[in-house]
Amino acid sequence: MKIFVWTEHFDNKLAQASKEAIGAAKSLGDQVTALVFGQNVDAIVQEAFHFGADAVIKADDATLADFRAEPYIALVAQIARDHQPDAILAGATTRGREVLGGVSADLDAALLDDVLSLSIEDGKLTATRAMYAGKVLTKEQLSGEGVQLATLRSRAFKALDADTSRSGEVISVEPVLSEDEIATKSEGFEGTVGEISLTEAAIIVSGGRGVGGPEGFEPIRELAKVLGGAVGASRATVDAGWIPYEHQVGQTGKVVSPDLYIAAGISGAIQHQAGMRNSKVIVAINKDAEAPIFKLARYGVVGDLFEIVPALTEVFKEKLGK
C-alpha cells in the first residue's frame, strides 16, 4: 500500500501529530511518503525521514509559509491526482482536519475523521472512531474506491523513535495557486508560548468548581508546571469566566487522553467524563466521597484540593528534582 502523510510543523519542528501519523502509516503501508509544505522546510524534510518517511514530496514556497486552507487543500489534491496514492493520512489537528476535509470534496474521496485506530481489511481503510464524545465507539470502513483518507487522533498512535541515519528521495513540487489567486491572507500569529496543548499533553491537571474562583487555579497551574503538564478545566469554571475556554475538557471542550489526568475539585458530570475517560491513569481529588469522578478514577483522595494539590507539588518537586 502506497500511503501519503500530510505533515505539519511549527517553530521549525515537525508536529508530534505528524510523527504519529508517519508511524501509523509505516505500520500499514510498505511505502510512506511525507508531504512537507512551507518555506525553508529542509529541516522538516530531514525530520520526516528520521521519523520513518521513505520519501518526501516538498513544496517550498512563500505562498505556503503560513498555513492557509485554500492553497494547502489545492496542493494536496493535485499531488494525489499526479501520484495516485492508495491513502492519505494526517494528524487530526485543527489544520489536518481542514486539509483532508477539503481534499475529500476535491477528490470525491471518503474520509475517516479523528480515528482512534486504523487497519486495512481487503484493501479498505477501517477505523475505530468515537461518537457522542466517546460514549460510544464505532467501527467504520471506507469502500476502498480511489484514494482513502483518514485523520488520526493525537496520542492514539505511536511515533517511531527518531533514526537520524535515515534519509530518502525528495521530490520538489510547485504550488497550485499563485498569491494573486489566493483569497485569504494570514495577517498575524500570536503563539501561546510555554503552554502545552491539551490534546498533545501526556499529563493534565484539571480544576473544577471546587477551585472556587480564578485564583483557585494557581495551585493547579503549579502542579501542572512541576509535572510538565497542561492545565485543564471543567465547563462550570469556564462558564464562570475563571479560565479561558481553551482549557475546557469535556463534550463541548476538548477530548483528551493523557497518560495521567489529575482532576481536582471536579465532580465528574457525564459531559466532563466524555472528555477524559480515555486517560490512562486518572486521579481524583474531591471533598465529596460520593462524587461520580471517583467511579472513573484509579486513585482517589477525599480531601481539600487546597491542601492536597500543594502537598503533591512539594513532593514531586523533591522526587523529580525540580
Partner 1 sequence: MHIVVVTKATPDTGAKITVENGVPTWKEAMVINPWDEYSVTEAVVLKEEHKAKVTIMAVGPAEHDDALKQGLAIGCDEAIRVWDEALVGHDSLQYARALAAAIKKLGDVTLVIFGKEFADSGSNQHIYQTARLLGFQVLGSVSKLISLDFGAGTIKVERSVEQGKQTVSSKLPAVLGVLKDITEPRYPSFIGIRKAAKAQIPVWGLSDLGIEAGTPKATILSYSEPPKREGEVEFIEGESPREIAEKLAEKLLEEKVL
Q: Which of residues 292-321 bind partner 1 (CB under 8 A)?
A: 294-304, 307-308, 310-312, 314-316, 319-320
- Identify residues 235-254 at the interface with partner 1 (CB under 8 A): 245-246, 248, 251-252
Q: Which residues contact 169 (CB under 8 A, 6 or more apart)?
A: 55, 56
Q: Does residue 194 come out as left (phi exceeding 0), alpha (psi in the -120 to 50 range) or beta?
A: left
Residues 192-231 that bind partner 1 (CB under 8 A): 192, 197, 199-200, 202-203, 227
Task: Find the part of the chain contacting partner 1 (CB under 8 A) among 54-62, 89-97, 156-164, 166-174.
Answer: 89-97
Given candidates 52, 134, 216, 219, which one binds partner 1 under the rule CB under 8 A? 134
As a whole number of angstroms, the distance between CA 122 and CA 145 comes to 12
Report, in Å, the least distance between residue 284 CB and partner 1.
Answer: 8
Number of residues lying near partner 1 (CB under 8 A):
100
Cα dihedral 11, 17, 19, 24, rounded to 10, equals -170
CA 17 – CA 133 distance, rounded (Å): 20
Instruction: Tell me if 54 contacts partner 1 by CB under 8 A.
Output: no
* Whether 156 contacts 113, CB under 8 Å: no
As measured in angstroms, the least distance from the Cβ of 66 to partner 1 is: 7
Q: CA dist 236 to 232, 286, 289, Å?
A: 12, 15, 20
Binds partner 1 by CB under 8 A, chosen from 22, 114, 176, 263: 114
What character string, x for contact with partner 1 (CB under 8 A) and - otherwise, covers 260-279?
Answer: x--------xxx--x--xx-
Q: Is 66 in the site for partner 1 (CB under 8 A)?
A: yes
Rounded-to-integer distance, Cα 223 and Cα 198, Å: 15
